[in-house]
Structure 1
């Protein structure tokens, strides 16, 4: 079914890096979800009203909130597709994240309202009428939500959309909550305890609140500047180092301006004795490769590395071995030495995990002291000048 819908409504579906295709996928998913959730809401609301089940009515309201969320997501996809302008030179793709945050807040509000209603039902239970129609409707809703979860996850993974992946998780959670409502209806019928319906309604409300809190956390994270995807980091590093003459990369930064809109910068290490014009031409080729084939706007800084000095090579290897023991997640780069009449300065940058640079964390300063002492013990006239910096993206 998913592939059929994609074939019918998406032009050039394989070109997912194109912003227009990304938006088309998002629009398709939102329209399908709006339709399904409205049908589910109508079915559950009618059954819940006829048979007096607050749990079923609560679950119906959850579907209505899902439809509202899908509308907000649709608006986010539409606004995110707007091209860059003078006021927003990096585009508008972050509207998707803002839409996701709005959806999360809506879920929290509905969860609170459902909790209040269910709590009153626990205090003042009313009779619940059970029928085969109730079971049929709820089973149908579970089946539809299972399909929606699979559908949104497939589309979300295909276009790397956190919004749709979250929608898939929400649909999966609805399967759990609707199953709980079905169990409550059956338990109430056989036990005769009407309060079970209200208790299960409370459970559904708590589940919605819990999901909403998780969604708020997930949607705020990219807005604040979450760590980049390790797979993307690995891909960028492997692609850059696959070019002849590239020794390695460091200081990799990935700025996320919304799905499909990332700016990348990093330093590339090449032999210091290589031809400057040839190195510049190679860097241009790498930048163009990322832009054309991956839709990544990449800026590369050239770092010359001395490869024909045995002492620098020995120093580099010695420091890396020490770091592997003292701070396995740290790394060094831009190593150079400046000999003098009384001592030799060993100058390099040391990239460490960001939390090590916290004001009350003394691990970074301790690391500097230990590296200086290790080098001084090995070479008495050597003094390390170390610049600490955070790791923005961990490369291998």
Structure 2
């Protein structure tokens, strides 16, 4: 394994681990803001941060497990563990939204003006700044490493930032107008946003568990790599792909002349494998070589 590849695999693990103490720090800050004010909106923000702590621990465990090499019982690796973590995180977001709905609905019946709003808002803004920077780091690094769990964790934290912005707006309106009802109203709006974000995350993660094909940009890069490096063969067909976290699985049939030697066909396969792995890092290939005259099936690639 190259040093660069090893670093690429360890980076998501280090970031996921660092997220745990950071999420605990943010939770403590938000609980302090709620304790100072008694605001239901700030309580809703703190509730989501509790979910952040649980989700960050789940993401770390999933990334560690997913990085394990293939073994006898998991011969294609453990990559899909990250999708499971992302689904769990999506469910946790939905649970947080429902908890916020419950708290806000109760407060709607008897709204009260929070105490020490300025101090509470100041404390909450500090937590939001920490979350905003870290969410950007996680999403960017997760996409670069093709880590669904890291991206999901980053999106969850980014949702928390949106929650905090909504809370600041709601408390600002309550303070400016003197109407305490803005506090639970903004909490309800925030809960609706979180619910949507959680559902979106679950949908995307389930797609990964269902062996979704490579996205259009990667599919085009794959076809280009095959077309430019299949000289000596006459056809490529039955092309199939699937993405599993940082890994991509690709298989296709390569048609060659019936009188071509095994060595010559092997050289073409080696050339294709090198080009495809450059175009799609982390890919695993299965190439079936067959003689001309066999009926073609599935997706075909025109060889140039």
Q: Per the shorter chain, which TM-score range?
A: 0.7 to 0.9
| Larger proportion of strand | 1
The residue that corresponds to 1:121 in the other structure is 107
Q: Which runs of 5+ in 1 are unaligned?
A: 1-10, 307-333, 336-347, 352-390
Q: CA deviation at 1:97?
A: 1.1
The residue that corresponds to 2:237 in the other structure is 250
| Larger proportion of helix | 2
Deviation string 1:285-336 (CA, Å, 9 cap, x unpaired) is 2365369764433121235558xxxxxxxxxxxxxxxxxxxxxxxxxxx67x
**Runs of 4+ residues deviating >6 angstroms:** none
The residue that corresponds to 1:216 in the other structure is 202
1:61 aligns with 2:52: no
1:266 aligns with 2:252: yes
Which of 106, 109, 118 is 2:95 aligned to? Answer: 109
The residue that corresponds to 2:265 in the other structure is 280
Instruction: Provide closer, same or farther for how the CA distance between residues 295 and 110 of structure 1 changes in structure 2, counting only shifts above 3 A.
Output: closer
Greater relative CO, 1 or 2 (CA 8 Å, sep 6+): 2
SS in 2 for 1:250: strand
Distance 1:201 1:241 in 2: 54
Q: Which runs of 5+ in 2 are unaligned?
A: none
Paired residues, number: 298
The residue that corresponds to 2:58 in the other structure is 72
Deviates more, 1:136-145 or 1:213-222: 136-145
The residue that corresponds to 2:289 in the other structure is 302
The residue that corresponds to 1:34 in the other structure is 20
SS in 2 for 1:242: helix
1:202 aligns with 2:188: yes
Distance 1:159 1:265 in 2: 22
Distance 1:22 1:80 in 2: 13
1:187 aligns with 2:173: yes
1:338-353 equivalent positions in 2, closer than 5 A: 349=297, 351=298
Is the radius of gyration larger for structure 1 or structure 2? 1
Distance 2:261 2:93 in 1: 57
* Aligned partners of 2:232 and 2:268 also within 8 Å: no
